Amino acid sequence: MPLSDAIDDFHLAYDRHGVPGNPPVLLLHGWPGDRTDMTAVAERLTDDHDVVVPDLRGFGASDKHDRDPVEQYGAAAQARSVVGLLTELGLTGVVIGGYDVGSRVAQQVARERPDLVRALVVTPPAPGVGRRILDEAPLREFWYQSFHQLELARELVDGEIGATRSYLRHFWSHWSGPDFTPDDDRLDHLTAAYSPPGAFVASIGWYRAGGGAVARSLAETAPEPADRISVPTTFLWPEHDPLFPREWSDRVGEFFTDVRVTEVDDAGHFVPVEAPQVFSAAVAAAAR
């Protein structure tokens, strides 16, 4: 498992599959996961693509420094590390696939460095939600983002193996579709990744930096047409994601110049894990 060169003193751990020189693909995981969320997607792409799968800052085997979240764990900071990795590997014309946090980071990279990106294949979150996120049903789902702002999150979860496993199991069970149940091996792996002292707090640096859906939705405004993300973008919108109902896809055209929404039936929030064949097919199509 190689490590990237340091950006802001953060090294990213990453896997590389396939053949360098083939169409490049970068796959970005979400919370509460790590790069292994993308294993089944990468396996389907390795014959014809050069696939790079990193752990984002604060996750998996990447660095987890105790730093100001706003400066070092927000979208701009995560994008710096991703751009640094692509530059180090000499990759351009990359299809970036991402879900959850990885989706937001992919969108940030496409906004800042469209010269590096051929296309995006992402799941929600998507811009355009606005104040709908304050409706009663969404507020019941997004409680965890307020909890992550509290020092109590560190006291109750960080470094506590049992608490970490229970906390992760809740999200992987509640956010997934009806036909998916995380198995013990998956929960064991994620517990091992999130339970060392400091690991959980590093992982929620994204939320403490204001990267969560609630803060972003309330702050966003539709850009002028010339300022929209110009990279061709496909949103894979799952049927059973309790966080992001399908009707929230209605305004994505105000934020992207070339965007399509593809519905993914029977899947929940974790599309790369629950429907890797759908995710990989969309990435391969975007890379042609």
Residues assigned a catalytic role: 100, 207, 269
3-state secondary structure 66-121: CCCHHHHCCHHHHHHHHHHHHHHHCCCCEEEEECCHHHHHHHHHHHHCHHHEEEEE
- Identity of the residue numbered 239: E
Tokens of 33: 């996961």
Asked if 113 and 81 touch (Cβ cutoff 8 Å), the reply is: no
Phi, psi of 27 (to 5 degrees): -115, 125
Best CA proximity match to 30, nearest among 156, 211, 196, 208? 211
Whether omega for the bond prior to residue 125 falls within 30 degrees of 0, making it cis, is yes
Q: How far apart are CA 172 and CA 186, in angstroms?
A: 10
Question: β-strands 14-18, 50-54: how paired?
Answer: antiparallel
Number of neighbours of residue 5 by Cβ within 10 angstroms: 11
The residues facing 119 across adjacent strands are 95
Q: How far apart are CA 220 and CA 159, in angstroms?
A: 35
